[in-house]
A and B are shown apart, each in its own frame.
Chain A
Amino acid sequence: MQIDLSVQNVTKRFDEFVAVDHVSFEVPDGQFFSILGPSGCGKTTLLRMIAGLTEPTEGEIEIRGQSMLGIAPNKRPVNLIFQHLALFPMMNVGENIAFGLKRRAESKSAIREKVDVILERVDLAGFGAKKIDQLSGGQKQRVAIARCLVLEPAVLLLDEPLGALDLKLREQMKVELKLLQAKVGTTFVYITHDQSEALVMSDHVAVMNKGVFEQIDSPKNLYNSPQTPFVAQFVGDNNAWSGRIRQCDQDAADVETSEGNVFRTKLREPLQSGDEVDLFLRPEAMLIQPDPSLAELNRFEVIVKDILFDGANSRLLAHPLDADTELLIALPQTRQFDYIRKHDKIEIGWDQKSGICFARS
């Protein structure tokens, strides 16, 4: 498989501040690759270095095997879709899309043809003469994408382009963008702070924090087996306990949490008894009032503090009997648990395979 984008040991320093710290990754041809991180983690700086708008302090960036160091953005085979799209208001839709082609001095008829083809591809056929401010948010989005795709870049970079859209449209654009990427086959590098965007659209996701990549993996692995405590907490919701290992075998341990419960959990790495650990548990890993016949469940009692109704994503906010740690528990909307009220005492159970345990550093 051809590697479209290869970033090796790239570092960017602004005076004392290290925005991007020795980041390396490779993106094969045709992949949808996302970089997910909280704001200020250095992901935009990284993207701007790939586009050429910022020069890295150290490291190597290669696109299709060619070093990009010292090459100006207008000479690179990558295009960037800006956070606020940066469509040119002084031009109409057609002129916006033709802008890059004209810079390549292509013939007028070729330009017209390519613009028509790409407009059709993004479902905006006939919009060429419209002004930018006549378009809706989603249409502007598609014009911005068309303006870059028409140049057939090796890699398309996207800087949180869905951030400015309202929720409903964002959900719709997520799916649209993924389908479009599959259709055109261009390599996408997408940065976002929204984990759902990254998980839904990407083939691979890199989670970035404080200038370093914490984990690069498929969305599924990222969710199910996070490699670091940061990934466990940032990707999806997680309940966290701090505790100490009481006793442990090869791949499982009894962990005593700070509020006194003892849970049995599998281990990702060998640990010793007495080690301080952080234990994470997904809301949906917790079963409400589990059947007594189910053995090997960690069971404990909690008091319901509040019911957070959110359709299919409803949760219970609860706390253990004699502690005020907040726990999020998934509440399936099967009507089975409709009897639960605030301040009820309920039993919770979870399977030891669901626990994610990290040694505290």
Chain B
Amino acid sequence: MKKQKRWGLYFFLTPVLLWLFLLIVLPHIDLLIMSFRSETIDGKAIWSPANYLNFFEEPIYWLTFVRTAVYSILVTFLTFVIALPLAFYITKVVAPRFQGFLLVLLLLPFWVSELVRVYGWMILLRESGVINHFMIKLGFLNQPVEMLYRDSTMILGLVYTSMLFMVVPIVSVLESLDNSLIEAAYDLGANMWTILFKIVIPHATPGIVSGSIVVFMLTLGNYLTPNLMGGKNSLWFTEQIYNQFIASFNWNQGSAFGFLLLVLSSLVVWLGLKLTKQNLRKVVQ
């Protein structure tokens, strides 16, 4: 009996362990080793921290890095600001029979790939695009304006892409918020803002934090949206990594950048958890 149980455990655990080890741990170890290797002028591979030193010596690298981090945090915050009222509306305001419908509406754009969605935005926003066309027709603009390839457009795209990952966890925590708590606060003299900051947000914190972690990580590691909507002006750190691997064929430098990004995202998430006094186990649930 006991033997059988153990056999079952191994049977189901093995694929997971293999997957974790072969596809995640092993490549990362390889990347880590690579990031500490570099070639001398005569082509000999040696151990050296040169790849990491490059990052700090070349301003374009670390400026892009900081920019990516700051914009990712901004995108996460904007997504949260839009998602909270949305989630509140879906869970508490709208009639229950429309809830499912609204969630499906939210999910619908995610049935097509990110690439198609981004191209959709480009069709709307580009100089010869739909919005410009109507603005000129209606007389708001005299000549078309290029709305793509700006930081603001890129942020718009990133927020749009991340929306669902923030709304869903917040909807699920708000569903467990007893309406009478809101009514009790209202009855005791609180206004809308006090209810929001004293009752709704404290209750929703685990959902907000888990949504924020997902959105932050996805944004930080996003390649497509910054590249297509931000154009050449909006540098994103993933583009630097891509350039090192593909354009310069410098895998050692690329892996060093990759590790820096990993450290950055772990650090920001850890800080976020500390600041909101949440622990990871509670948030992941």
Contact = CB atoms under 8 A, between A and B. Distances in A.
A86 B181 contact: yes
Given A86-B178, A86-B180, A99 B187 contact: no
A74 B202 contact: no
Contacts of A53: 183, 186-187
Interface stretch (A77-85, A222-230, A322-330): A77-85
Contacts, number: 59
Given A90-B202, A90-B203, A84 B180 contact: yes
A151 B183 contact: no
A327 to B, nearest CB: 43
B183 A82 contact: yes
Given A84-B178, A90-B202, A74 B189 contact: yes
B280 interface: no
Nearest to B201: A90
Contact of A151 (B180, B185, B189, B194): B189
Contact of A74 (B178, B187, B198): B187
Nearest to B202: A90
A309 interface: no
A103 interface: yes
A20 interface: no
Interface in B183-238: 183-191, 194, 198-199, 202-203
B188 A147 contact: yes
A77 to B, nearest CB: 10
Interface string B22-51: 000000000000000000000000000000
B188 A151 contact: yes
A147 B198 CA distance: 16
Contacts of B203: 89-90
B186 A74 contact: yes
B183 A74 contact: no
B191 A74 contact: yes
A75 B203 CA distance: 25
B199 A73 contact: no
B200 to A, nearest CB: 10
B-side interface size class: 10 to 19
B209 to A, nearest CB: 15
Interface in A61-103: 72-75, 78-80, 82-84, 86, 88-90, 99-100, 103
Interface centre among B180, B181, B186, B188 (most CB of A within 10 A): B188
A100 B203 CA distance: 19
A80 B202 contact: no
Most buried by B among A72, A75, A99, A151: A99
Contacts of B198: 88, 90, 99
A51 interface: yes
Contacts of B191: 74, 103
B56 to A, nearest CB: 43
Contacts of B183: 53, 73, 80, 82, 86
A104 interface: yes
A100 B198 CA distance: 12
B194 A103 contact: yes
Contact of A103 (B178, B180, B188): B188
A51 B187 contact: yes
B202 A73 contact: no
Nearest to A90: B202
B204 to A, nearest CB: 10
B202 A79 contact: no
Contacts of A147: 188
Interface of A: 51-53, 72-75, 78-80, 82-84, 86, 88-90, 99-100, 103-104, 147-148, 151
21 contacts: A52-B187, A53-B183, A53-B187, A72-B186, A74-B186, A74-B191, A75-B189, A80-B183, A82-B180, A82-B184, A83-B180, A86-B181, A88-B181, A88-B198, A89-B203, A90-B203, A99-B188, A99-B198, A100-B188, A103-B189, A103-B194
Given A79-B188, A90-B198, 5 more contacts: A52-B187, A82-B184, A88-B199, A90-B203, A103-B190
User: Nearest 9 A-B pairs (CB), nearest first?
Assistant: A86-B184, A103-B189, A100-B188, A86-B180, A90-B202, A82-B180, A74-B189, A73-B187, A80-B187
